[in-house]
Every structure is written in structure tokens, then in C-alpha cells.
Amino acid sequence: MEYKDAKEKFISTWGSLGSLWGINKAMAQIQALLFISTKPLSMEDIMEDLKISRGNTSMNLRQLMDWGIVTKELIPGERKEYFTTEKNVQELARTVAKERSRREIKPVIKILKEVSSIKDDNTKKTRELIKQTKALHDLAETADTMMNKLVSQEQTWITKSILKFIK
């Protein structure tokens, strides 16, 4: 396989996987392109390479910056804005995990805590609602805590072993 084919296949596959970590296909493809780029890319470079519109590129770059995955880089003497992404895979995973926790898991934990804290009127259905939502709350909170601890750790032999075990 030649470089061009491998590059296109990687970007396409990464784009498809984007939904697994909570972003759309174009966002993931932009991040993939930046991830394998040897230098920061301008919006025009990204548009040309991925064959996507200026609006789509701009909107998705903004969202990637909001996630903390993509940053602007100033190049002396250039008027264009250039973009780059985290190149360290573990650091990228940490950023994604923290952002998903903040955007998705923590709001659910808050709602489950609220629902499981309703006044118990001693009816069977209320007790069941409280019991089940409290169990879900505890599970979600434990999983979120474990994930945050795992991704905040440096890659030691212990975390590598745990990651292998999880896989």
C-alpha cells in the first residue's frame, strides 16, 4: 500500500471511529489529518486534503478546540491560522476521557443522584425507582472515578497491564 492510500484509509477509519468517542465524522477526520501531519496545517490545507467546505472545517475545528484536542499555532510571518493536535496517544486519550466525562457522564450522574434522592412515600414503585437509580448512580460514579484515575496516570507497567486486561 502506498502512502496516499494508507493516509486515506487511516483518515477514513479514524473518522468512522469518531462516533465511539463522541465526535462526528468530519471532526475525527480533521483530527486524524492533523495527527499524522508533520507540520501545522491551515484551514485551507485541511479543506483541500479532506475535500470539505470552509464552514464545515471552521465549525469542526472550533469544536475540536473546545474539546482541547486541537490548538492554534502561530507561525511567524504568516497571516493564516494554523492548527495542530496532540501527538501523544496517551495524552490524547486522557483529554478525550476527561471531556467525555465532563460533557456526558457527570450530567447523567447528577440526574441519577437527583432522581434517587426523591422522597420515599413507601410505595413499592417509589422504592424500586430509588433502589435502581441509586444503583445506577453508584455504578456510573465508580466507573467515572476509575476511568479518570486510569487516564490521569502516567503509563507505568501497572496501567499498561490494566489496559491490556480491559481490552
Quick: pLDDT tens for 60-79.
999 999 988 899 998 888 88
Closest C-alpha to 144, from 114, 85, 99? 99
Q: Are residues 108 and 64 in the same domain?
A: no
Given this model, what pLDDT does residue 71 score?
92
Cβ atoms of 26 and 34 within 8 Å: the answer is: no
- Is-above-0.75 flag for pTM? no
Count of structural domains within the chain: 2
Given this model, what pLDDT does residue 147 score?
78
Last residue of a domain, one of 85, 118, 142: 85
Q: Are residues 77 and 59 in the same domain?
A: yes
Q: Which of 14-23, 41-50, 103-112 has the lowest mean pLDDT?
A: 14-23
Given this model, what pLDDT does residue 19 score?
73
Would strands 41-42 and 70-73 be described as parallel, antiparallel, or unpaired? unpaired
For residues 151 and 95, give the distance between their C-alpha atoms in angstroms, rounded to a whole number.
9
Reply yes or no on whether the pLDDT at 105 is more than 90: no
Given this model, what pLDDT does residue 57 score?
95
Question: If you average pLDDT over residues 24-51, what whole number do you get?
Answer: 93
Q: Are residues 75 and 102 in the same domain?
A: no
Reply yes or no on whether the pLDDT at 158 is more than 80: no
Q: Are residues 12 and 57 in the same domain?
A: yes
Look up the domain containing 41 and give its range.
3-85
Q: What stretch of H or E contains 11? A: helix 3-17
Given this model, what pLDDT does residue 143 score?
85
Q: Are residues 66 and 93 in the same domain?
A: no
List the grid coordinates of 24: 462526528
Query: Angle 25-36/43-50 helices, nearest 10 degrees?
Result: 110
